[in-house]
Amino acid sequence: MKLIFQQMPIVIGALNSGFVQTLKLFSVTLLGAFPLGLLIAFGSLSKIKAISLATQFVIWIVRGTPLMIQLLIVYYFPGLVLHNPIWGGGESGRFLAASIAFIINYSCYFSEIYRGGIQSVPVGQTEAGLVLGMTKRQIFFHVTLLQMIKRIVPPISNEIITLVKDTALARIIALQEIIWAGQAFMKGSHGISGAIWPLFFTAFYYLIFNGIVTVLLTRLERKMDYFR
């Protein structure tokens, strides 16, 4: 126990910098996947059969295969198959590859939630906008969007909380996120080796961060209680 207290400051420092990487991946994924998901949702709702089928095919592939495999493919495919290692070997290259894999994966999940949200807004809302002479664009942004957001906050919240924990998968391509940082103390890191507790200790980071995320999302949900 005394040993743990001695190790604590070093471990916390290393875990903190791992967690920064986790947070970065989390934020970049959300920033990318929110808009890309909407685009994909429009694709799968398209009246042009070819676009809608192609989009649904992509969604099937992305949702049907493990995110871990997708990470490996995005990271290794350019170098191993195309002989053009665009990511380079460094941490920033790994981060970029991980971000792309995460954004693609999450935008496909988001797109299905968006699609459900858009379709759940009664068609009468669109028709009311049309007979008032609004453009389809105006109707989407001024009528449909907020009603859709209200409906999708609970399911999106689920995905966001899952994403916080899914970022751990990025260590498969050696991205130095928090679990990677915790695990490093088993093999040896910062002069400490054979310590397994830092790995377990990472759970607190996830737990506290997800607590904050939950509070924020609940607030957002309440904010939209003013209409039905």
Partner 1 sequence: MAILEVKNIRKTFGNVEVLKGIDFSLEKGQVLSIIGSSGSGKTTLLRCLNFLETPDTGVIKVNNDVLFDSSDPSTRLESQIRQKRLHFGLVFQSFNLFPQYTALENVMLAPRLAAKEKRAYEAQKDKIKAEAVELFHQIGLSDRMNNYPHQLSGGQQQRVAIARALILKPDILCFDEPTSALDPELTGEVLKVIKQLSDKNNTMIIVTHEMAFARDVASHVIFMDGGGICEQGEPRELFNNPKEERTRQFLTRYNS
Pick between residue 150 and residue 171 the one whose CB is nearest to partner 1: 150
String of DSSP letters for 59-90: HHHHHHS-HHHHHHHHHHHHHHTSS--TT-SS
Helix, strand, or coil (residue 121) = coil
Among 69, 80, 130, 207, binds partner 1 (CB under 8 A): 130
Q: How far is CA 81 from CA 84, 192, 198, in A?
A: 8, 38, 37
Closest contact distance (angstroms) between CB of 171 and partner 1 is 43
Helix, strand, or coil (residue 180) = helix
How many residues sit in the footprint of partner 1 (CB under 8 A)?
21
Report, in angstroms and rounded to the nearest whole number, the Rg of the chain calculated over CA atoms.
21
Pick between residue 36 and residue 134 the one whose CB is nearest to partner 1: 134
Helices assigned H by DSSP within the chain: 2-45, 49-64, 67-80, 91-120, 123-131, 136-139, 145-166, 178-187, 197-223
Among 134, 172, 186, 192, binds partner 1 (CB under 8 A): 134
Pick between residue 65 and residue 135 the one whose CB is nearest to partner 1: 135
222 token code pair: 């309440």
Pick between residue 141 and residue 204 the one whose CB is nearest to partner 1: 141
| Under rule CB under 8 A, residue 228 binds partner 1 | yes
Among 9, 64, 90, 133, binds partner 1 (CB under 8 A): 133
| Under rule CB under 8 A, residue 135 binds partner 1 | yes
Pick between residue 49 and residue 228 the one whose CB is nearest to partner 1: 228
Q: Report whether 213 contacts 160 (CB < 8 A).
A: yes
| Under rule CB under 8 A, residue 122 binds partner 1 | yes
139-168 residues in contact with partner 1 (CB under 8 A) are: 142-143, 146-147, 150
| Under rule CB under 8 A, residue 120 binds partner 1 | no
| Under rule CB under 8 A, residue 215 binds partner 1 | no
Tell me which residue has tokens 């970022």: 167
| Under rule CB under 8 A, residue 131 binds partner 1 | yes
53 token code pair: 């089928």
Chain positions contacting partner 1, by CB under 8 A: 122, 124-125, 127-135, 138, 142-143, 146-147, 150, 226-228
